[in-house]
């Protein structure tokens, strides 16, 4: 069956195209042609709304709250995925890289969902869903904490089994990276950590500074296996230019959440794709007191927006960029579509409205400068349709 979307404003990778239809069949885009030039078995008249590629989110841990909503409550994983993907589709996210950290036992932030058995279960389920009919496309981003020596072999095995679609190296040691400021580190502690006495907090920091981590050679071996398997590798919270050099030697190609503008600029100069958070844009700055995502975009030091912990932020941030920052709509959209697709090697299939690519698309109307999502297509199927009532 051939489907045609007409009367839309098509957000292509380098321009906004009007007066044209987009046609798709068997899950793929078959043509972009002058309006009415091709027939369709099913026609959607979108009445001037934007038609853009589906959003690709390569870093979000939102699935945690759907599987473990309380510290003592772990829900059924399949139910959690099913409930989460309804929300994700409603955010315009058609491909989600569920990004769950694999913490060592005894780490201060080792919620049950972040322990190795649960992480492996979640990753295996996401891999299985890749071959099932779902509302959206599910992928898995393994965030490996480099002090988790016990799970090093587990990570290697997970990659070999095809459970990992993106790998990142994480280091949450206080005094560097995200927690260069120890006050921020303390505020991010669980309740029992925040209530420590000054002396006990100092002991905690000293203990964390003395912990063992995997060697640079071990990380190099892990990264090499990832490359052999076609898995992109990212670093996290780069805070110095020297750290960028180390990561470059490891084969890292993505710099997630660089801490300062200097590091973000240098990361791009060295060929990294840089990632910043969409919630950062909506909040007017980093919740950890680090780099401003909006400033990084203004200074051309960022390539990709991710939701991090709040999927609702992505489409909102895109509209903020072109409605308030006067960034061309196609450029704003690339931060959440083509650029992340390139980062994880999916740009041959996803990320832009082009003939031959998957028909993952959003129909979005601007209402008072904010996005109103009207339809979501995944592989050419309309998986979500929203009707906004007219109020008398």
Q: 33 and 120 share a domain?
A: no
CATH at 371:
2.30.40.10
pLDDT of residue 205: 60
Domain membership flag for residue 391: no
For 44, the 3-state DSSP assignment is strand
Q: Which residues pair with 101 in a beta bridge?
A: 143
Q: How far apart, in Å, are the Cα atoms of 1 and each of 6, 105, 318, 357? A: 16, 52, 32, 17
Domain membership flag for residue 190: no
Q: 8 and 151 share a domain?
A: no
Q: What is the mean pLDDT of residues 281-310?
A: 91
Q: What pTM did the predictor assign?
A: 0.92
Q: What is the mean pLDDT of residues 174-185?
A: 57
Confidence bin at 106 (pLDDT 50/70/90) = low
pLDDT of residue 185: 62
Domain membership flag for residue 26: yes
CATH at 326:
3.20.20.140
- Higher-confidence residue of 284 and 12: namely 12
pLDDT of residue 172: 59
Domain extent, residue 146, equals 55-173+211-343
Q: 108 and 229 share a domain?
A: yes
pLDDT of residue 292: 94
Instruction: Give me the chain's average pLDDT, please.
Output: 90
pLDDT in tens, 110-134: 678 888 899 999 999 999 999 998 9
Q: What is the mean pLDDT of residues 87-95?
A: 98
pLDDT of residue 171: 80
Instruction: Quote the DSSP letter at residue 14.
Output: S
**pLDDT at 167 exceeding the cut of 60:** yes
**pLDDT at 181 exceeding the cut of 80:** no
Q: How many domains does the chain have?
A: 2
Q: 67 and 18 share a domain?
A: no
For 107, the 3-state DSSP assignment is coil
Domain membership flag for residue 160: yes
């Amino acid at each position: 069956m051939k489907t045609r979307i007409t009367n839309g404003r098509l957000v292509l990778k380098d321009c906004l195209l009007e007066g044209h239809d987009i046609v798709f069949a068997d899950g793929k885009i078959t043509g972009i042609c002058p309006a009415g030039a091709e027939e369709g078995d099913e026609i959607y008249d979108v009445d001037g709304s934007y038609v853009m590629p589906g959003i690709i989110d390569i870093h979000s841990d939102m699935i945690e709250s759907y599987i473990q909503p309380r510290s003592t409550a772990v829900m059924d994983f399949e139910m959690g995925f099913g409930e989460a993907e309804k929300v994700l589709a409603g955010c315009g996210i058609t491909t989600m890289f569920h990004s769950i950290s694999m913490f060592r036992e005894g780490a201060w932030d080792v919620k049950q969902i972040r322990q190795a058995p649960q992480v492996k279960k979640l990753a295996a389920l996401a891999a299985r869903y890749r071959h099932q009919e779902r509302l959206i496309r599910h992928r898995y981003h393994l965030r490996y904490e480099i002090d988790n020596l016990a799970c090093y072999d587990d990570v290697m095995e997970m990659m070999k089994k095809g459970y990992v679609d993106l790998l990142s190296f994480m280091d949450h040691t206080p005094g560097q990276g995200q927690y260069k400021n120890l006050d921020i580190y303390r505020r991010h502690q669980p309740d029992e950590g925040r209530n420590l006495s000054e002396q006990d907090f100092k002991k905690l920091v000293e203990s964390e500074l003395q912990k063992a981590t995997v060697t640079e050679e071990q990380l190099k071996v892990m990264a090499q296996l990832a490359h052999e398997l076609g898995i992109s590798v990212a670093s996290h919270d780069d805070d110095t230019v020297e750290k960028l050099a180390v990561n470059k030697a490891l084969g890292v190609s993505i710099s997630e959440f660089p801490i300062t503008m200097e590091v973000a600029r240098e990361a791009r100069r060295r060929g990294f794709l840089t990632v910043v958070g969409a919630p950062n844009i909506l909040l007017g700055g980093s919740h950890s007191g680090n780099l401003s995502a909006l400033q990084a975009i203004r200074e051309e030091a960022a390539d990709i927006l991710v939701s991090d912990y709040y999927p609702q932020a992505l489409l909102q941030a895109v509209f903020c960029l072109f409605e308030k920052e006067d960034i061309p709509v196609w450029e704003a959209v690339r931060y959440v579509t083509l650029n992340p697709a390139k980062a994880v090697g999916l740009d041959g299939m996803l990320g832009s409205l082009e003939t031959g690519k998957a028909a993952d698309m959003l129909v979005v109307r601007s209402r008072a400068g904010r996005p109103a999502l009207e339809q979501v297509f995944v592989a050419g199927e309309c998986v979500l349709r929203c009707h906004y009532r007219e109020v008398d």
